[in-house]
Amino acid sequence: MVKKNCYRWLIRYFSIISLPFLLNIIIDPYGYFQLIDLNNFNMNKSEVLSEYATKLYYVKKLKPVAVMLGTSRMLALSPDDVSEYLHGSTYNLALSGSNIYEQYRYFKFVVDSQHVRYVILSLDLFSFNPDNNNKESFTEDRFISFFYYKDYRDSIFPSDALKSSILTLRNNVLNECFSIDYRRGNATWCAKEKAFKQIGTDLIDRDMKNSLKLFSMDKEAYNSEKLKNYAELTKRINYLRDLV
């Protein structure tokens, strides 16, 4: 009798301990597992750790005929508009603030491993800026390893993952705004649309002024001496040549 009670308590204990891990896998706040994809449950990912990581897992699963590459300028475009002409699935693999090397590595991965037939590339001056370094969330290991342990560990074990799962569930149930539709890869602009309804055309004027100010002062934008140096630019330009 005592032995049976011990087994019951052990089963209950491990069930309670494993519940947060199971919840993280099912809700999948970062989009690494994609076991379940339900509307008003976990379909929209609002709490991702890295756009660079999450998009790679989505494009792996989709295996599209075409991909769209570039920075946030390309991110604004819908892949549906491309699919209409290519008669095949398209994924918007544009990465916010990415440089040309990061775009090249994603390009090389999808062409080599997934046999993508079409690539739509948006050229952006900032991508060639030598001061625009690789992002902290960008890692070559994701292209080399089929199972990148760190991503799955971060998605299951830390308390932050459980918090992200709860927020993801909450935001889906309440139909909250999410910035990127990771199933297709493009920006949703829902936050801007809500702000536009409240502020009107003044929002456009404000954003334009802020953007121009940022571009003129930011070292990763126009305020870069390296951007004016041809020798510094040559290496970045060569990545474009290799891509073509």
120 backbone dihedrals φ, ψ, rounded to 5°: -105, 115
- Among 43-52, 135-144, 197-206, which stretch is predicted with the lowest mean pLDDT? 197-206
- 175-200: pLDDT as tens digits: 999 999 999 999 998 877 777 777 88
- First CA to last CA distance, the chain: 73
pLDDT band, residue 1 (cuts 50/70/90): low
- 3-58: pLDDT as tens digits: 555 555 555 544 555 688 899 999 999 999 999 999 999 999 999 999 999 999 99
Per-residue pLDDT, 95: 96
Q: Do 41 and 169 contact (CB within 8 A), yes or no?
A: yes
Per-residue pLDDT, 41: 95
Beta-carbon count within 10 A of 30 CB: 25
Bridge-based pairing of strands 180-181 and 186-187 is antiparallel
As a whole number, the mean pLDDT across the chain is: 88
pTM of model > 0.85: yes
- 86-109: pLDDT as tens digits: 888 999 999 999 999 999 999 999
Per-residue pLDDT, 213: 80
- List beta partners, residue 73: none
Closest to 121 measured CA to CA, from 85, 88, 83, 73: 73
Can you tell me the distance from the alpha carbon of 207 to that of 146, in angstroms, rounded to the nearest whole number? Answer: 41
Per-residue pLDDT, 232: 81
Mean pLDDT (whole number) for 64-72: 95
Say whether 228 sits in a helix, a strand or coil: helix
Per-residue pLDDT, 124: 86
